[in-house]
Chains A and B, each alone.
Chain A
Amino acid sequence: QKEVEQDPGPLSVPEGAIVSLNCTYSNSAFQYFMWYRQYSRKGPELLMYTYSSGNKEDGRFTAQVDKSSKYISLFIRDSQPSDSATYLCAMSGKGVTGFQKLVFGTGTRLLVSP
């Protein structure tokens, strides 16, 4: 079983829809929960991150973390065709000493149609 599970999609929605993207994880040591967006032929770009549990909002994007269920979500409101990309969740621990590698989900491909 992978440490981080993510539905690969593709997820197709019409413009203006609310999109929900999710990941589950098994390692309770994870403290940072991140969402990356990756366009075709590009590297991942950090969208937003949450430390520990709770919600975080940034414009049309909202990230939620439920550590008790080991479940994280990214919501996109008023989705736009420019949001069409692959969304990757990633997680890491919080180090006192030592490098914290990122553990990624496989990514969900999102397609927003006009």
Chain B
Amino acid sequence: KAGVTQTPRYLIKTRGQQVTLSCSPISGHRSVSWYQQTPGQGLQFLFEYFSETQRNKGNFPGRFSGRQFSNSRSEMNVSTLELGDSALYLCASSFNRLAGVEQFFGPGTRLTVL
């Protein structure tokens, strides 16, 4: 079974621009969650999508948004990029939403904001 895939793997943007990241979950997984990883803060939960609806949200500003399509693929958007948004953005998919242990991570998209 193919794992979680994320595209693109690397992105370079400038301040003020916006960016869209994509995540394809493991086949059959309907829950997709997004995490931001930075050296100082580690991995922090952004939001979770299930059945095309955002179900849970972490403590991030409204510039961070996402959506999920009927095939469970998800996109994450960051508008008005700031230098501090430079991070590795990880997507995780799961079949059983009730067990955090069953989240499987993709390789991430490394975003650099100049």
Contact = CB atoms under 8 A, between A and B. Distances in A.
A99 B50 contact: yes
A88 interface: yes
B97 A99 contact: yes
Contacts of A41: 107, 110
Given A44-B105, A99-B31, A99-B56, A105 B100 contact: no
B45 interface: yes
B43 A88 contact: yes
Contacts of B43: 44, 88, 90, 102, 104
Interface string B65-84: 00000000000000000000
Contact of B100 (A43, A100, A107): A100
Chain A interface size, under 10 / 10 to 19 / 20 to 34 / 35 or more: 20 to 34
A31 B100 CA distance: 10
Given A88-B43, A99-B48, A104-B43, A43 B106 contact: yes
Interface residues of B, number: 29
B105 A43 contact: yes
A43 B101 contact: no
A60 to B, nearest CB: 21
Given A44-B43, A88-B43, A107-B42, A101 B107 contact: no
B24 interface: no
A54 to B, nearest CB: 15
